[in-house]
């Protein structure tokens, strides 16, 4: 399942943009007129699968996809998750699942991968948040945290790339993890957000790499 907030939409796309699905393609439009940008697979395919050929929907960037889609014309959107089950249920009650929680992941090296001791390399990954820009990413190596370099800031609602230079010094298993902070001060937690359906998982995800000779 893809979250549209992670797609790299044009900078001119507004907070609420409309998408028209015609003849098998989906086009971004705004109140000022079409932006001329077409959705590419797999995003167009998901709209075609969910709506009739001439339905118009709205997208709230930064929101979870199931909550962000609304139908302005055509048959009403009444799905099990969209209207009844996509909620956080806690001891204090229930609230809708909306903004994507701040999160980051290591994409290189991969979990279980072997790396050479003493060989300079880069730990890299992606970070995102539905509540604000990513302003900090930290990398943990065996529990010791250091700031990574944020490599790109394309837009508030796009993935943010980051890198961290690393030279493995000790042979054996090493735990690597990443932790992001957004512009509203939300910090990626160590433990997951407790709720009955386990939605909104954004806890720090440690992974193991093996350092070899």
Q: Where are the domains of the chain?
A: 4-85, 103-212
- Band the pLDDT of 71: cuts 50, 70, 90: low
Q: How does residue 77 score in pLDDT terms, banded at 50, 70 and 90?
A: low
Mean pLDDT score of the chain: 75
Burial label for 213, CB within 10 Å (0-12, 13-18, 19+), is exposed
Higher confidence at residue 210 or residue 76? 210
pLDDT at 187 over 80: yes
Q: Give the right CATH number for 103-212 from 3.40.50.300, 2.60.40.650, 1.10.580.10, 2.30.40.10.
A: 2.60.40.650
160-170: average pLDDT? 96
Q: In the prediction, which pLDDT does 44 show?
A: 54
Q: How confident is the model at residue 157 (pLDDT cuts 50, 70, 90)?
A: confident
Cis peptide before 93 (omega within 30 of 0): no
165 three-class SS: strand
3-state helix, strand, coil in the chain (%, to 5): 10, 45, 45
Taking the C-alpha atoms of residue 155 and residue 141, their distance in angstroms, rounded to an integer, is: 29
115 beta partners: 211
Is the pLDDT confidence value at 47 over 80?
Answer: no
């Amino acid at each position: 399942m893809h979250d549209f907030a992670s797609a790299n939409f044009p900078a001119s796309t507004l907070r609420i943009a409309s998408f028209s699905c015609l003849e098998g393609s989906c086009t971004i439009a705004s109140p000022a007129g079409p932006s001329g940008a077409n959705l590419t697979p797999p995003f167009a395919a998901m709209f075609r699968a969910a709506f009739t050929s001439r339905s118009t929907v709205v997208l709230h960037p930064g929101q979870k996809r199931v909550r962000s889609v609304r139908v302005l014309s055509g048959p009403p959107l009444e799905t099990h998750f969209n209207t009844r089950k996509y909620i956080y249920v806690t001891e204090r009650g229930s609230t809708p699942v909306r903004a994507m929680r701040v999160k980051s992941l290591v994409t290189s090296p991969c979990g279980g991968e072997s790396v050479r001791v003493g060989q300079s390399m880069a730990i890299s990954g992606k970070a995102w948040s539905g509540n604000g820009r990513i302003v900090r990413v930290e990398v943990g190596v065996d529990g010791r945290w250091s700031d990574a370099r944020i490599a790109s800031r394309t837009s508030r609602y796009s993935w943010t790339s980051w890198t961290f230079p690393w030279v493995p010094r000790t042979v054996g298993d090493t735990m690597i993890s990443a932790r992001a902070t957004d512009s509203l001060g939300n910090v990626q937690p160590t433990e997951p957000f407790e709720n009955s359906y386990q939605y909104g998982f954004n806890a720090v995800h440690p992974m193991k790499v093996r350092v070899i000779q």
